[in-house]
């Protein structure tokens, strides 16, 4: 499950990004107005490398060197099992 939320304090959010990235407005759906977003992702995984639950915080940002848009993982909490 993913939940997108509009960023209210861009300065604080920008500090979570690595050097060379900047927040950019984006739209989740075609009719939405672009806005700067933080996204929470929560999921359960059962894969060959691990299985368990994880919650991640992403910011939608642009790599200033390449111009590529990315969901930058800024933080996560994991309940992985071996």
Q: Containing domain of residue 47, as a range?
A: 2-81
| DSSP character string of the chain | -EEEEE-S-HHHHHTTSPTTEEE--B-SSTTSPPB-EEEEEEEEEE-SS-EEEEEEEEEEEEETTT--EEEEEEEEEEEEE-
pLDDT digits (tens, 9 = 90+) for 31-51: 989 999 999 999 888 877 778
Provide the domain count of the chain: 1
pTM attached to this predicted model = 0.79
Provide the pLDDT for residue 1: 87
Provide the pLDDT for residue 45: 81
Provide the pLDDT for residue 17: 96
Q: What residue ranges of the chain have pLDDT lower than 50? A: none
């Amino acid at each position: 499950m993913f939940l997108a939320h509009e960023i209210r304090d861009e300065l604080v959010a920008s500090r979570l990004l690595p050097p060379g990235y900047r927040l950019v407005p984006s739209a989740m759906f075609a009719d939405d107005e672009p806005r700067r977003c933080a996204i929470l992702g929560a999921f359960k995984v059962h894969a060959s490398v691990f299985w368990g639950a994880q919650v991640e915080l992403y910011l939608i940002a642009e790599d200033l060197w390449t111009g590529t848009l990315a969901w930058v993982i800024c933080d996560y909490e994991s309940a992985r099992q071996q």
